[in-house]
Homo-oligomer: A and B are copies of this chain.
């Protein structure tokens, strides 16, 4: 039941067309979700400018292109994640102004006139090994598409701690840090010990044997003794980016 229909109802009561009792009856069956829908949409508006994401895995090139065009038509910024170059073609034809990034396997399209959000500062995206780069880059691109400044810190690991320490100042000034690691699962804990800001840990499925597809890193991060660490799903660069953006909004 749209606000319009409620107003019409109330006007009929005001004009005497409907008794209070009859209006009560009409309202009794009013599916409360309709109101809910409106109110949630209100929140959607507050999120304006945030990219909608299409998870490409398990979809055909045509399905991806179809869904992406619907989103683009609404004027929202668009992000397609986990997109192999082999399924890129239809998307590129339909949305030629979009950009594909082979490292992170993402396709993005900025909203035409989306206003930049007010931000607290920048988000640092840090990763250890080169094999963690795709996930880190997915997080960084998500943040940039949402209008947040990003500092990328790469190739800093725990086994060679000095390179990480050398970037300590950049880390310390970030309003949030996304720390991505597979075989160096302890990276977020070490980073968190150097700063006072929230660290979002992203385990990656990089590794073999006892890595268990990222579970070893995940468990290591969850049991981190640094309390300013929280964790997202394995390989979930997009989720980490969105989470960091909610923190960095002024």
Contacts and interface: CB of A to CB of B under 8 A. Distances in A.
A98 interface: no
Copies of this protein in the assembly total 8
A131 interface: yes
Contacts of A197: 246
A123 to B, nearest CB: 13
A210 to B, nearest CB: 4
Interface stretch (A70-78, A86-94, A108-116, A158-166): A158-166
Contacts of A238: 227
Interface size class on chain A is 35 or more
- The prevalent SS among residues of A at the interface is helix
Contacts of A163: 33, 37
Contacts of A58: 131, 206
Interface string A215-250: 111111011111111111111101110110011000
Nearest to A231: B231
12 contacts: A6-B27, A10-B13, A32-B39, A33-B162, A33-B168, A36-B162, A40-B162, A57-B208, A58-B206, A129-B225, A228-B246, A230-B231
